[in-house]
Structure 1
Amino acid sequence: MNTADNAAGPQFKELENVKRLPILITLIIGAFFSILNETLLNIAFVDLVKDLEVPYTTIQWLSTSYMLVVGILIPVSALLVQWFTTRQMFIGAMVLFSIGTLVCAIAPGFPVLLVGRIIQAFGTGLMLPVMMNTILVLYPPEKRGAAMGSMGLVIMFAPAIGPTLSGLILESLNWRWLFYLVLPFAILSVLIATVYLKNVSDVTKPKVDVLSIILSTVGFGGIVYGFSNVGDPEGAGWSEPKVYWTLIVGGIALILFIWRQLVSKQPMLNLRAFLSPMFSLSTVLLIIVMMSLFSTLMLLPIFLQQGLLMTAFAAGIILLPGGILNGFLSPVTGKLFDKFGPRVLAIPGALILVGVMYLFTTIDLETTKGTLILYHCIMMVAISMIMMPVQTNGLNQLPRAYYPHGTAILNTLQQVSGAIGVAFFISIMTNGTKDYITNPPVDVNLEQLPTLALNAGIHNAFKIGMVFAVVAVVLSLFIKKTKAPEAEVQQKAALNPSKG
């Protein structure tokens, strides 16, 4: 650990002459289209069911497999980042994504389309940790907030615009154009990376622990798959064998994986990063916030389409302003983080989150579209004040040698918490809906019973989401601005020049 710390200062000086902006732009272009692809296809499921002549439960695998592969691959990326250069990892990820996109575009049927989605997911799974690790290596701690904020623009804006963009394309073109239109940009990203992307990471080639890779794959894969299937409308929920068995097997494998990482001299995913208190606190806070975020991302579209009877495209339009606002605020909050630290953003952001989650518990069939847009915008402002500043602050406390492990841990847990959040809040909504139908109010209009029951279930879910937000407020009170180990080394060297 000391070696990593002592080496960090000179390594940042060596990178001072590297042109950071072209590298950042390259990462943004690649990340935008790979992340956009996560939500671009969801709105086309109805068309795909008709065109490919397969049931909805089968089509869902296009989304489930994507999340599953990304969840499996991210932990392994901590090892891959130390075996391959920045250029090799990024270009390899985008080439895989481009091949997968082409396969999807020309797919003659569902099996080939699923293979294409899995190849795309491999590219995305490699992309996210490389993107974050490169920023940590490339930018000194005092400038990371703005750089991470730029990435926040991509991470939040891309999935937000996905459904709306998809709806526009499908108005006049078929679903294949969702891939044809993305492919040129993916190829462009590869060409730009070939010219401008520099190698900034350290290739140490640690020992490959095959057993850890297997345990990681089974553990994270089982958990993501299990929770992803809880919300299957045609399944039996938590009592479905494929749900509880995959969760049990995944949980056991994950426990064994954690044990192996702690006893290994060269762990694949170094969990000793959690010895840094702000990194640990930031990780828990981000999981809590992600759970609140997913409660809204899942429940609002359901309410808009099934409660207010909007089309998927109209629902996407309602959610678009909040996504755009969040995207453009991310660089701003990043710069504010660099100047003022995390507390002035995270604490007010968490308080705003509690307030807006309460407002969501009051929505009903009479709530106007403008009100829903306003509430969603307020929530996305709160998320932008918390996510990137807290994440950057936590990663800043890690020594350089732990960067690949810290980014892999955060990205993995966000994927897992996303899967858990979707399943958890859908379960609450479903149970609340069933309870309302079973015990309706005496004066209820029977014609409106299904819609009112759905509204009651969504209210229950938002109430639990508000509880998560309250926990986020409590955790945010303990956030402190961190000083990177390399910065401390440089400061000591400046105070004791004779020892340098």
Structure 2
Amino acid sequence: MKKNNMQPIDINGNEFKRAGFVLVLLAGTFLTIINQTLLVTALPKIMGDLDINAIDAQWLITSFMLISGIMIPTSAFLLNTITNRTLFFIAMGSFAIGTVICGLSTTFTTLLLGRIVQAIGSGLMIPLMQTLMFMVYPAERRGEAMGLVGIVIAFSPAIAPTVSGWIVDYYEWRYLFYILLPIVGVNILLAFFFMKNIIKLTKPKLDVFSLLLSSLGLGSLLYGISIAGNVGWQNKISWVACIIGIVIIILFSRRQFKLAQPFLELNVFKSRTFTLSTIIVAIIFMTMIGSEILLPIYTQSVKEFSALQSGLILLPGALVLGVISPIAGKLFDKYGIRKIAMIGMFILTIASLPFLFLTKETATWWIVCLYSLRMLGMGLVAMPLATAGINALPNKLISHGSAINNTVRQVFASLGSAIMVGIMSATVNNYEGIPALLKGLNNGFMSAFFLIVAAFILCFFIKSKETTDEN
């Protein structure tokens, strides 16, 4: 809730400082999101220390993705049932407990349990943050707000491999969690002073069957995609899981339209701007996550760089993304979405094309420049589009729009890595040696390029302004 365009007010009409409120939200989200990719470069050392194979180790990442993905749709119901202050402490408390379990783990089972508990907090925190950021800023400044969100959502997973690579090169992998814990504690402490209740509760009735359908459908779909990403699409289990997940999600969707109080309000898709922006942003994140998996494979397997060196190659792009996101937000507030989306997608498309032609001799500086240019385009378009989509919804649907936006993005991000790695693997199986790997990487990047072109075309159908006056 806002009071004119000055400081926001809570549900009791009391004015409070926006800066502290936003700081706590963004810091909490940064800590939870960075864990999505924090273990990527640490898996080999974890495998050796806990005596597990690659398939078991992959579950440390897969389980986090599955649980957080399942929790995201539930956030819309919880935000209207539990005060946002209480929900924040539940999310960060769960994440803190999971971090402690991970740090103290001496077996694979306890480490996996810790990751699951962490993921519960992460799945709640991301849509909670996005919803509250929309509520605490007036409509004409939401681009600025989501520019800050863009730093967190895209920047944190981008720098995680670099940070992780440095830590595991010099310390044991448990320090990944030891370092996080005091920061999480400070953030929770600050929240006692700065976190306010700003959402009036409607306390909808819980439809248990919808909750079950949502969890089973998303869980099955994400599991199937994850299996495909790990062992390839030729695995029958991945297809069966994906088909079951899609069928259950269709049943869930049909049920929502019949309920007087839907568990998740799917009428948000009646807004063309919301629908198009959600699809385009999902495709962008799809190619981003896939590229962040393929590039380290290229730099480590073809260029023979270390994990830390590989992470450092991605770091300038992450910094560009962090710088451009708030600038893009202000440009959106001033000029609307259409122009900035077209410019951003053009840059992203042009910068993605050379990755189809990587060779062993491709200069490292050229890769750094191209990746940074891709991040520039991504930063110009991703969060402004997400902002335009949710801006087109009435306030009462913002929590549902945020939940749906994040759920779709989570599914597409997982799907992107599965498709790009799957295409790379299928190509490698038909050739031999480094030339086969290069061919596979080029084909994987080619799939990303075609997806980006499709997203670029969709941008032509977005209106520059589509907002609602409904509260």
Please confirm whether the aligned pair reaches a TM-score higher than 0.5, indicating the same fold: yes
Give the whole-Å Cα distance in 1 for the aligned partners of 2:394 and 2:126. 20
Measured against aligned partners, the alpha-carbon deviations of 1:191-246 in whole angstroms (never above 9, x if no partner) come to 111111111112111010100011001111111110111122xx4x3232431221
Conserved? CA contact 2:210–2:252, under 8 Å: yes
One-letter amino acid matched to 1:171: D
Conserved? CA contact 1:394–1:482, under 8 Å: no
Conserved? CA contact 2:265–2:400, under 8 Å: yes
The corresponding residue for 1:365 is 360
One-letter amino acid matched to 1:250: G
One-letter amino acid matched to 1:274: F
Choose from 394, 409, 415 the match for 2:410: 415
Report percent identity of matched pairs.
39
The corresponding residue for 2:215 is 217
- 2:62 corresponds to 1:79: no
One-letter amino acid matched to 2:464: K
How far residue 184 of structure 1 moved from its aligned partner, in angstroms, is: 0.4
The corresponding residue for 1:5 is none
Conserved? CA contact 1:223–1:247, under 8 Å: yes
User: Aligned runs of 1:44-443 on 2, under 5 Å?
Assistant: 44-232=42-230, 235=231, 237-435=232-430, 437=431
How far residue 483 of structure 1 moved from its aligned partner, in angstroms, is: 4.5
Question: In 2 relative to 1, CA 79–353 (structure 1 residues): closer, same or farther, beyond 3 Å?
Answer: same
Choose from 422, 441, 454 the match for 1:458: 441
Stretch deviating more after TM superposition (454-463 or 54-63) = 454-463
Stretch deviating more after TM superposition (300-309 or 115-124) = 300-309
- 2:40 corresponds to 1:33: no
Partner secondary structure for residue 362 of structure 2 = coil
Choose from 485, 496, 499 the match for 2:468: 485
Conserved? CA contact 1:66–1:117, under 8 Å: yes
Give the whole-Å Cα distance in 2 for the aligned partners of 1:261 and 1:456. 45
One-letter amino acid matched to 2:361: E
Give the whole-Å Cα distance in 2 for the aligned partners of 1:333 and 1:138. 19
The corresponding residue for 1:15 is 8
Give the whole-Å Cα distance in 2 for the aligned partners of 1:300 and 1:293. 10
Conserved? CA contact 2:273–2:466, under 8 Å: no
Give the whole-Å Cα distance in 2 for the aligned partners of 1:261 and 1:9. 31
Give the whole-Å Cα distance in 1 for the aligned partners of 2:297 and 2:258. 45
Q: Which 5+ residue runs of structure 2 have no aligned equivalent? A: 10-14
Measured against aligned partners, the alpha-carbon deviations of 1:119-139 in whole angstroms (never above 9, x if no partner) come to 000010000011000011111
How far residue 326 of structure 1 moved from its aligned partner, in angstroms, is: 0.3
One-letter amino acid matched to 1:294: I
Measured against aligned partners, the alpha-carbon deviations of 1:83-131 in whole angstroms (never above 9, x if no partner) come to 1111111111111100000010011211011000000000100000110
Give the whole-Å Cα distance in 1 for the aligned partners of 2:48 and 2:406. 35
Give the whole-Å Cα distance in 2 for the aligned partners of 1:141 and 1:33. 27
Question: In 2 relative to 1, CA 279–115 (structure 1 residues): closer, same or farther, beyond 3 Å?
Answer: same
Conserved? CA contact 2:36–2:64, under 8 Å: yes
Conserved? CA contact 1:149–1:330, under 8 Å: yes
- 2:462 corresponds to 1:467: no
Measured against aligned partners, the alpha-carbon deviations of 1:144-187 in whole angstroms (never above 9, x if no partner) come to 11111111111122111111111222232211111011000111
Question: In 2 relative to 1, CA 137–384 (structure 1 residues): closer, same or farther, beyond 3 Å?
Answer: same
Conserved? CA contact 1:100–1:117, under 8 Å: yes
Give the whole-Å Cα distance in 2 for the aligned partners of 1:220 and 1:200. 29
Conserved? CA contact 1:278–1:394, under 8 Å: yes
Larger Rg: 1
Give the whole-Å Cα distance in 1 for the aligned partners of 2:270 and 2:107. 49
Measured against aligned partners, the alpha-carbon deviations of 1:425-462 in whole angstroms (never above 9, x if no partner) come to 11111122223x1xxxxxxxxxxx41111111111122
How far residue 292 of structure 1 moved from its aligned partner, in angstroms, is: 2.4
Q: Which 5+ residue runs of structure 1 have no aligned equivalent? A: 1-7, 438-448, 490-500
Conserved? CA contact 2:134–2:145, under 8 Å: no
Number of residues paired by the alignment? 466
Give the whole-Å Cα distance in 2 for the aligned partners of 1:73 and 1:52. 28
Give the whole-Å Cα distance in 1 for the aligned partners of 2:83 and 2:112. 30
Stretch deviating more after TM superposition (110-119 or 163-172) = 163-172
Question: In 2 relative to 1, CA 121–77 (structure 1 residues): closer, same or farther, beyond 3 Å?
Answer: same
The corresponding residue for 1:3 is none
Give the whole-Å Cα distance in 2 for the aligned partners of 1:290 and 1:169. 26
Give the whole-Å Cα distance in 2 for the aligned partners of 1:11 and 1:89. 27
State the Cα RMSD in Å.
1.7
Partner secondary structure for residue 231 of structure 1 = helix
One-letter amino acid matched to 1:465: A
How far residue 12 of structure 1 moved from its aligned partner, in angstroms, is: 8.3
Question: In 2 relative to 1, CA 206–14 (structure 1 residues): closer, same or farther, beyond 3 Å?
Answer: farther
The corresponding residue for 1:497 is none
Question: In 2 relative to 1, CA 483–248 (structure 1 residues): closer, same or farther, beyond 3 Å?
Answer: closer
Measured against aligned partners, the alpha-carbon deviations of 1:386-440 in whole angstroms (never above 9, x if no partner) come to 10000000100100110111000000000000111111111111122223x1xxx
Conserved? CA contact 1:82–1:203, under 8 Å: yes
Give the whole-Å Cα distance in 1 for the aligned partners of 2:466 and 2:459. 18
